[in-house]
Amino acid sequence: MKKKANEKAGEVSRRDFIKASAAVSLAAMGVSANRIFAAGSDKFHVALIGCGGRGNGALSNCLAAAKHIGREMEVVATADWFQSRAEGTGKKHGVPNERCFYGADAYKKLLETNVDVVCIATSPNFRPVHFEAAVKAGKHVFMEKPVAVDPPGGRRIIEAGDLAHEKGLGVVAGTQRRHQNGYRRNAYAIKRGAIGQILGGCVYWCGGALWYREESNVDTDADYLVRNWVSFTEMSGDHIVEQHVHNLDVANWFIGHPPKTALGFGGRGGW
Ligand SMILES: NC(=O)c1ccc[n+]([C@@H]2O[C@H](COP(=O)([O-])OP(=O)(O)OC[C@H]3O[C@@H](n4cnc5c(N)ncnc54)[C@H](O)[C@@H]3O)[C@@H](O)[C@H]2O)c1
């Protein structure tokens, strides 16, 4: 009855929303969703691991999306390497300090809360560990790109993705070109044969030097790496993995499969 009433009012129930988002995201991962569930009230509980620039943006996007479809969403917890960041983001969203976790194991404490959907936006070296833990805890996930910085991390993500599929969880990655109208229009035209079969191509990413954050006088070496992750290949995967992943994703998408052969080269300026 409630479902019918919602449909009549042009609304989407919490269960249907998760089901639809999960179906779309799992389809994006090349699998089909056949068992999706979400229990509890109509309110979504969201939490953020990695309260930096993109994490705060992702949380705002999430809240705006919920508002757009007329659903209530509450930020229930935050986690960051640094206390000030976890609490700073928590303060913006009315999260009490006792649910603003910080330190290397902050994500574990966050996953013990009643969160339904976890947004993960730390530097990418931590992504496989955080994603795997979130899936094991039965949470739906939005995670930023790139999802790993090396092959072992990539394999761990694939295994956790399979587990998410088995559990019927929704997973979305931040390769946002797939959701941009311009790209989607071109993808549709190409799929309909506008330029024939794509046999090869080039994708480029040109940009300036990235940011550098001054070392604080209380920083440990680990703190310094976390603050300046873009300058360390082991934290970021470097330019091709960290930024160019967007355009590599477009190439795979438009060709319809990964290319048979590929050649990549590049360099990054730094401080
Ligand atoms: N899709 C996009 O267009 C887009 C845009 C910008 C950034 N990103 C991605 O988002 C991610 C974050 O980028 P950013 O610019 O917000 O970086 P940032 O440095 O501003 O934020 C990262 C945050 O994560 C925290 N953090 C790092 N390790 C942690 C850990 N182990 N546990 C908890 N917190 C931890 C840091 O303290 C920091 O607050 C990157 O993967 C980046 O590539 C994507």
Nearest residue (CA) to ligand 1, atom 7: 54
* 168 vs 36: CA distance, rounded Å: 4
Residue 157 has a pLDDT of 98
* 140 vs 156: CA distance, rounded Å: 17
* 127 vs 147: CA distance, rounded Å: 6
| Residue 33: pLDDT over 60 | no
Q: Quick one: average pLDDT of 133-150?
A: 98
| In contact, 175 and 145? CB cutoff 8 Å | yes
The mean pLDDT of the chain is 86
Confidence of residue 216 (pLDDT cuts 50, 70, 90): confident
- Give helix then strand counts, H and E, for the chain: 12, 6
Q: Which of 264, 206, 210, 255 is nearest to 236 (CA)?
A: 210
* 133 C-beta closer than 6 A to ligand 1: no
- Ligand 1, pocket-test mutation among 122, 214, 243, most atoms within 8 A of CB: 122
* 245 vs 224: CA distance, rounded Å: 25
Residue 48: helix, strand or coil by DSSP? strand
Residue 210 has a pLDDT of 85
CB atoms within 10 A of CB 186: 16
pTM for this model (two decimals): 0.86
Ligand 1 atom nearest the C-alpha of 124 is 41
Confidence of residue 270 (pLDDT cuts 50, 70, 90): low
The two structure tokens encoding residue 184: 């989607």
